[in-house]
């Protein structure tokens, strides 16, 4: 295909566009290894077009997708009118802004991009191969703390949370959330632990790993956290996944230079992370630092793309130092 020649991908196997694949049905294929086509192994790659409508204007993208792998290969400079009509025809959603292409866009792509000698519509997305610098300009852990530092106790036990509960959870602590409380702000106070691995929020009492694990499913995330504890990562053996409140406390009202609503001391390789909480009636919650809000997924790959983990630990003593580990159905004031 001329398209893949433009992207320098010829000669690396059988490459084609899967016109039946869309953001919504990636769950069936890449989470259960089933769906419309059975994967042969985790090295299989699929390529499809979709519309990214998270930020205006909506963009037409070429995605390369596999098990534990997701990468945008190119942006396609299609007529904006066609893209907008495609989005409008499917109905705008506040929870998911990734859209399948329609027949009109497919015909335009076949004629002007896929087999055309004119490659001017294709804008490759170059992969960054340089190691990300993790500079940390935070106060030192041993520096004097602000006298007016407000400490807040956040829920640490995992819970079953309904979608309608989320706005009340966000507003209870005035967390910033781009969808549920865009004017909010939680005053965390991050300090550098000087180990190159962790930072601590003195406001919530939570220690965070600055990086995280690779793309994987929730069951593998739990196994990975268990391994961290067995190895006593950073000298501790009580690492766990954060609750929704604990993760929301990290959100900043503005995106950092890495494009995340986070302090830049955190790795950009974890744009969203699984949480300890499960969704009622089904699914797992994750926080999306790129979008600045929380979502739920079926439990293997959030949003149909990738799943990461960024574990935390409570560094002080709470309730005599005993952290009870159970799931509870919780009700928040103001929730229906």
- Give mean pLDDT, residues 47-58: 87
What's the confidence (pLDDT) of residue 204?
92
Alpha carbon 268 to its chain's center: 10
Q: Are 327 and 156 in contact (CB under 8 A)?
A: no
Token pair 């159905």 is found at: 329
Token pair 């191969």 is found at: 129
Confidence bin at 33 (pLDDT 50/70/90):
very low
Length of the chain: 336
What's the confidence (pLDDT) of residue 133?
62
More confident residue, 69 or 115: 115
Confidence bin at 26 (pLDDT 50/70/90):
low
Coil vs helix vs strand at 113: helix
CA angle 222, 33, 49 (to 5 degrees): 105
- For 157-171, the pLDDT digits (tens) are 999 999 999 999 999
Q: Is the whole-model pTM more than 0.75?
A: no
- For 299-332, the pLDDT digits (tens) are 554 432 333 455 566 554 333 233 333 333 344 4
What's the confidence (pLDDT) of residue 313?
66
- Between the alpha carbon of residue 312 and those of residues 103, 247, 309, 328, the distances in Å are 46, 9, 10, 20
Alpha carbon 321 to its chain's center: 31
Q: Rounded distance, CA 311 to CA 209, Å?
A: 6
Alpha carbon 229 to its chain's center: 23
Containing 294, the helix (H) or strand (E) segment is: strand 293-297
CA angle 311, 187, 201 (to 5 degrees): 35
Lowest-confidence segment of 40-44, 231-235, 278-282 by average pLDDT: 40-44
Q: Is the sign of the CA dihedral 75, 89, 30, 326 positive or negative? A: positive
């Amino acid at each position: 295909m001329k398209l893949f020649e433009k992207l320098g991908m010829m000669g690396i196997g059988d490459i084609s566009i899967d016109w039946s694949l869309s953001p919504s049905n990636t769950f069936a294929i890449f989470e259960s290894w089933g769906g419309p086509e059975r994967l042969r192994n985790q090295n299989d790659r699929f390529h499809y077009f979709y519309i990214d409508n998270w930020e205006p204007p909506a963009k037409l993208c070429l995605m390369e997708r596999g098990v534990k792998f997701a990468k945008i290969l190119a942006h396609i400079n299609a007529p904006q009118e066609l893209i907008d009509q495609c989005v409008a025809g499917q109905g705008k959603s506040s929870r998911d802004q990734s859209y399948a292409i329609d027949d009109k866009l497919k015909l335009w792509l076949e004629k002007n991009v896929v087999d055309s000698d004119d490659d001017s519509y294709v804008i490759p997305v170059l992969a960054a191969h340089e190691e990300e610098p993790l500079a940390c300009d935070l106060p030192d852990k041993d520096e004097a703390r602000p006298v007016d530092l407000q400490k807040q106790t956040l829920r640490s036990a995992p819970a079953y949370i309904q979608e309608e509960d989320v706005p009340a959870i966000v507003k209870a602590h005035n967390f910033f959330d781009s969808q549920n409380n865009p004017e909010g702000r939680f005053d965390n106070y991050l300090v550098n632990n000087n180990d190159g691995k962790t930072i601590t929020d003195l406001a919530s009492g939570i220690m965070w790993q600055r990086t995280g694990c690779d793309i994987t499913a929730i069951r593998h995330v739990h196994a990975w956290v268990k391994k961290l504890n067995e190895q006593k990562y950073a000298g501790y053996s009580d690492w766990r996944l954060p609750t929704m409140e604990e993760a929301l406390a990290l959100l900043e009202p503005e995106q950092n230079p890495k494009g995340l609503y986070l302090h830049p001391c955190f790795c950009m390789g974890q744009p969203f992370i699984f949480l300890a909480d499960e969704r009622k009636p089904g699914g797992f919650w994750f926080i999306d630092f790129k979008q600045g809000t929380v979502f739920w997924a079926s439990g293997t790959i959030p949003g149909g793309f990738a799943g990461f983990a960024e574990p935390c630990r409570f560094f002080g003593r709470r309730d005599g130092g005993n952290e009870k580990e159970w799931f509870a159905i919780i009700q928040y004031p103001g929730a229906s």
